[in-house]
Copies of this chain bind each other. A is one copy, B any other.
């Protein structure tokens, strides 16, 4: 079907573009007369009305009620984003401000915290930043510390400097020699490996210990594997929820499911998970799988040091948002965070 846009000539597209722009600005249904006044379309309101009728026929816009102006539908925004708008580049001062703000960060936590705040401020919407993924990082060291006769603390250190610790309750008293052997074995086997590879490598480990010690070894291993797996279950940082108050008139109804979604890291992760690594992804309204976000749009993109993306970030706002500006901000921030990560 080459016909997606078959009935829409250049001018109808211009009308749709104008409608989107006006509606995003005013938050009110836009009529034919206002449209020709604010944009110099060079035609009369009547002509615009005809075009609008066609656009409505095709499902790009709709009327809240007879005798009201038009509002873009999700499909209309989609066409706008895909064909009618260009990502708006940040101005030089803006770029400088971004750079300056992010440069002050002292560690990874700080980078993420600053990024998410910055993004929320720039877009005046809710910002979401995923911590850099650790699937690609490697094991630097595994440490075991006896805290009590049958209690061991497991510490996992990755090459990115991240440390994860877990308490392990062992089935019986753990001897110091066993612990030392196990520590050595773990490090010999796992050090330098990527996290997901480790379970495969250490699978046979219990068999190499005395039968009496095997339960302990297995327990520790199980906890280690769990910890490794949890690295995939990434963390997320959030900012700008107060911007939700600018959402609209039918306020509590819209905002509640959104707030609920924002509290569920799982939902946010799934949301970002749908992001196409390379390109910027825009999910508009009902395109979002989670129905609480059916009247919001999500603009997200991967970021990372070098050319491979290690995590994702994005913005959540009303479908009625300034797409070019938001996309510009998201892209710029992602780019700079990537640079910062590459430098450190």
Q: Which residues of B contact A143 (CB under 8 A)?
A: 143, 145, 155
- Which listed residue (B157, B161, B245) contacts A255, Cβ 8 A? B245
Q: Is A165's CB within 8 Å of the partner chain B?
A: yes
Q: Which of A80-88, A257-265, A317-325 lines the interface with chain B?
A: A257-265
Nearest neighbor of A187 in chain B, beta-carbon distance: B145
Q: When the two chains form their complex, are residues B167 and A145 in contact, meaning their CB atoms are under 8 A apart?
A: no
Instruction: Check A107/B260 contact, CB under 8 A, given A145-B143, A157-B147, A252-B251.
Output: no
Q: Is A244's CB within 8 Å of the partner chain B?
A: yes
Q: When the two chains form their complex, are residues B259 and A244 in contact, meaning their CB atoms are under 8 A apart?
A: yes
In the complex, A75→B107 CA distance in Å?
46
Q: When the two chains form their complex, are residues A161 and B167 in contact, meaning their CB atoms are under 8 A apart?
A: yes
In the complex, A166→B166 CA distance in Å?
17
Chain A residues 258 to 299 lying within 8 A of chain B, measured CB to CB, are: 259-260, 262-263
Q: Is A239's CB within 8 Å of the partner chain B?
A: yes
Q: Is A218's CB within 8 Å of the partner chain B?
A: no
- Min Cβ gap A242→B in Å is 4
Interface of chain A, main secondary structure: mixed
Chain A residues 115 to 137 lying within 8 A of chain B, measured CB to CB, are: none
Chain A residues 225 to 260 lying within 8 A of chain B, measured CB to CB, are: 239-242, 244-245, 251-252, 255-256, 259-260
In the complex, A241→B245 CA distance in Å?
13
**Residue interface bits A330-344, CB-to-B below 8 A is 1, else 0:** 000000000000001
Q: When the two chains form their complex, are residues A165 and B167 in contact, meaning their CB atoms are under 8 A apart?
A: no
Q: When the two chains form their complex, are residues B245 and A263 in contact, meaning their CB atoms are under 8 A apart?
A: no
Residue count of chain A within 8 Å CB distance of chain B: 30
Q: When the two chains form their complex, are residues B245 and A344 in contact, meaning their CB atoms are under 8 A apart?
A: no
In the complex, A259→B256 CA distance in Å?
13
Q: When the two chains form their complex, are residues A145 and B141 in contact, meaning their CB atoms are under 8 A apart?
A: yes
- Min Cβ gap A173→B in Å is 17
- Min Cβ gap A237→B in Å is 11
Q: When the two chains form their complex, are residues A241 and B255 in contact, meaning their CB atoms are under 8 A apart?
A: no
Instruction: Check A167/B263 contact, CB under 8 A, given A241-B241, A255-B245.
Output: no
Q: When the two chains form their complex, are residues B155 and A147 in contact, meaning their CB atoms are under 8 A apart?
A: no
Additional pairs, 19, CB under 8 Å, beyond known A157-B165, A241-B262, A242-B256:
A107-B165, A141-B145, A141-B147, A143-B143, A143-B145, A147-B157, A153-B157, A153-B163, A155-B165, A161-B167, A163-B163, A167-B344, A239-B263, A241-B259, A241-B263, A242-B259, A242-B263, A244-B259, A251-B251
25 A/B residue pairs, CB under 8 Å, sorted by A: A106-B166, A106-B167, A107-B165, A107-B166, A140-B147, A143-B143, A143-B155, A145-B157, A153-B163, A155-B163, A157-B165, A163-B163, A163-B165, A240-B263, A241-B259, A241-B262, A241-B263, A242-B256, A242-B260, A242-B263, A244-B259, A245-B252, A245-B256, A251-B251, A251-B252
